[in-house]
A and B are shown apart, each in its own frame.
Chain A
Amino acid sequence: MREQNRWITPVLVALLVILFAMPFALAPRPTSPDEEAFGGTDAAVTTMLEQDGTEPWFDPIFEPGSGEIESGLFGLQAALGAGVLGYALGNLRGRKVERETVASEHNRT
Chain B
Amino acid sequence: MHIAEGFLPLTHCVVWGLASAPFVVHGARSVITQAKENPESKLLLAAAGAFTFMMSAIKLPSVTGSSSHPTGTGAGAILFKPPVMAFMGTVVLVFQALLLAHGGLTTLGANVFSMAIAGPWAGYAVWVALRGARAPMEVSVFFAMATANLVTYVVTSLQLALAYPDPDLLGAFGKFATVFALTQVPLAIMEGIVGVLLFRFLAKVVPPELARRGIIAAPVKDAAHA
Q: Which residues of A contact B (CB under 8 A)?
A: 1-2, 4, 8-9, 12-13, 15-16, 19-20, 22-24, 26-30, 37-42, 44-46, 48-49, 52, 54, 56-64, 70, 73-75, 77-78, 80-85, 87-89, 91-93, 95-96, 99-100, 103-104, 107
Contact = CB atoms under 8 A, between A and B. Distances in A.
Interface in B55-82: 55-68
Given A12-B193, A16-B194, A81-B50, A1 B220 contact: yes
A56 B6 contact: yes
A92 B176 contact: no
A62 B65 contact: no
Nearest to A77: B57
A86 to B, nearest CB: 8
Contacts of A63: 101
B98 A62 contact: yes
B207 A73 contact: no
A22 B61 CA distance: 9
B179 A1 contact: no
A37 B4 CA distance: 21
Nearest to A105: B226
B174 interface: no
B50 A84 contact: yes
B206 to A, nearest CB: 5
B54 A37 contact: no
Given A1-B207, A48-B179, A74-B57, A39 B66 contact: yes
A29 B64 CA distance: 10
B101 A78 contact: no
A60 B51 CA distance: 26
Contact of B186 (A23, A58, A80, A83): A23
Contacts of B68: 40-42
B5 interface: yes
A23 B100 contact: no
A88 B57 CA distance: 19
Nearest to A49: B7
Given A9-B197, A58-B6, A85 B51 contact: yes
Given A1-B219, A20-B60, A74-B59, A61 B98 contact: yes
A54 B58 CA distance: 28
Given A19-B190, A57-B106, 19 more contacts: A2-B203, A4-B203, A13-B197, A16-B194, A19-B189, A20-B190, A38-B62, A39-B66, A40-B68, A41-B179, A49-B7, A56-B4, A57-B6, A61-B105, A62-B99, A63-B101, A77-B57, A77-B100, A81-B52
Contact of B51 (A39, A42, A81): A81
